[in-house]
Amino acid sequence: MTGRAPDWRLARLLPLLAVAALLLHGWAPGAAAAPVRTALVSGQGDGAWRFFSDLAELWRSRFEPTPEQLALQRVPGALERLRGVSRGRGDFAIVDAETAAGHLAEFPRLTALAVLWPELLHAVTRGPVPREVSLPVAAELWALDSAAFAFDTFSELAHADAAQTALLQRMPDDLLLDALDYAQGPILVFSAPAPLLQLLEAQRRDPRLRLLPIANRIVDEMKLAHPWLVTGKVGRSTYPGLERNLELPAVFQILVGRRDLPVLTVRKVLDTVYVRANAMALFDPLFGQTDSSMNAFFGKLMSFHPETARRFNFTPSVP
């Protein structure tokens, strides 16, 4: 019996030593699978889908500061995405500034992580209309859901004039392509990144389609009614037919996440969104339109992760 004791102990010890060696060298089964974070997006092919897809590709090619990976899941509706992240269906979502400013406080488990790209108010038409969109409206105006804030302003300014109010129509966003292709007379108003590829393609098919300036009075009224609204510039070379640079209302997109995300994960997000933005802009222009200074501006309107506030040196006004 005494002669077998060392063999028995060695037999028990060898597997333990093997597991320890695997752990030390990062080869344990659990170490091979990187944590997967999930981003909720509205639909395949839109700006958020492209943004997160490119972000996921960048995360796959780098492992600092964490080895996390990124997966995408489709959840239509901005509020539905906030609810989904709050309930643990995902870790991140992108919503517009209007939704974030108006509803983020309803989800105490969530916080803003980063301000992303702006979507600018486009007013396009094929019809013979004045040189800018102003009141009284010279043609029927269709406002897609993404421009609901603009529709509200036009309705408020025109509410005393029944003829003007009758010219205003609100339509769902999924009619954008049909409206660009077939709307001959109306002015179509919607928010989208600039340049918008669908609009450029529609202009190639029909050079009459053009982007219109929006009267300063209307822009000022929109900004008074919506504190999250800012203005952004559309350069003259952005779309065919533009005679000058335009200052248009801009709705920034907000990256939202759970408050309990590890600080290293938040740092990784901020690094990939801002530090590598110029390199990523070669593949996706949305990265090139991010502006880190906007975090401090929106920090007055909604809660932000402490790591974002620390990184960009501002104190959030909303806890």
| Domains defined for the chain, CATH in brackets | 34-118+252-311 (3.40.190.10), 120-251 (3.40.190.10)
pLDDT at 56 over 60: yes
Residue range 217-249, pLDDT digits in tens:
999 999 999 999 999 999 999 999 888 999 999
277-285: which pairs have CB atoms within 8 A and are 24 or more residues apart?
280/54, 280/58, 283/54, 284/50, 284/51, 284/54, 285/193, 285/195
Amino acid identity of 18? A
Of residues 257 and 318, more confidence is placed in 257
Q: Which of 16-20, 174-178, 179-183, 250-254 has the highest mean pLDDT?
A: 250-254
Task: Tell me the pLDDT tens digit for each residue of 135-150.
Answer: 898 888 999 989 999 9
Structure tokens at 311: 């990184």
pTM exceeding 0.85: no
Q: What pLDDT, in 10s, does the model give residues 105-137?
A: 999 999 999 999 999 999 998 877 678 899 898
pLDDT of res. 27: 41
Residue in 100, 175, 291, 34 with CA at minimum distance from that of residue 92 = 100
Do 112 and 269 contact (CB within 8 A), yes or no? no
Q: How many helices (H) and strands (E) does the chain have?
A: 15, 10
Comparing 3 with 305, which gets the higher pLDDT? 305
Structure tokens at 281: 């802009």
Q: How far apart are the C-alpha atoms of 102 and 157, rounded to whole Å? A: 23
Q: Write the single-letter amino acid at 199.
A: L
Residue with tokens 């752990």: 23
Q: Residue type at 128?
A: P
Q: What are the residues whose beta carbons fall under 8 Å from the beta carbon of 246, sequence distance 6 or more?
A: 211, 213, 214, 233, 234
Tens digits of residue pLDDT in 252-296: 999 999 999 999 999 999 998 998 777 777 778 888 889 999 999
